[in-house]
Each structure stands twice: as structure tokens, then as C-alpha cells.
Amino acid sequence: MSPVRRGETLPIYNRIAVLRAERAMSRAQLAAQVDVNTQTVGALERGDHYPSLDLAMRICDVFGLPVEAVFSRTEFTPLSAAVYRRDS
């Protein structure tokens, strides 16, 4: 990956929806815990909005995970592919 030039925006992928589902947590519940509105959580999950560093850290705190487990510059592979991968 080449260095980012000022003003250039790279995608930020996340696992927020998957993590919420694992914990049977609604968007409204997560929004309340990180002090944003429910629509913001939806926009984050769709990739329509990128979190500030502060918001990303608050989300990670709710899930008890490091930033790299929740957010990435590259697309996450499905967990099923990692768990059920067949070695050739």
C-alpha cells in the first residue's frame, strides 16, 4: 500500500453488524452505549460513514476488541472461510 496523500480517502471496512449479531445487540443499544444516534450506526455498517478515531475506540470498547479486529483498510474475509477453509 502506498502512502496516503492529503485529502485522499481510503475505504474503512468494519465488522460492526456481525459483532452486534453475535451479541444479540440492536443498533439502538449500540448507539446508546457509544453516544450516537441509531442512524449513525446504520451508516457505519453500510460503509456510508467512517467513524472518528474516538468513535472507533468507543465501539471497540463496547465489544472488548482491538481496533484491527473491528476495522480494516482491506475487506474482511468471511469468518466461515477462515474456520471451514479446506487446505489443498
Give the predicted TM-score (pTM) of the model. Answer: 0.80
Q: Three-state SS for 9?
A: coil
Residue 7: HSE in the Cβ half-sphere, 13 Å Cα cutoff: 0
Any bridge partners for residue 13, and if so which?
Answer: 72
Q: Is 3's pLDDT higher than 80? A: no
User: Which amino acid makes up residue 86?
Assistant: R
pLDDT digits (tens, 9 = 90+) for 5-62: 766 778 899 999 999 999 999 999 999 999 999 999 999 999 999 999 999 999 999 9
- Domain ranges within the chain, ordered by starting residue: 13-83
Residue 24 is classified by DSSP as T
Maximal C-alpha separation, the chain? 47
Q: 13-83: what CATH class?
A: mainly alpha
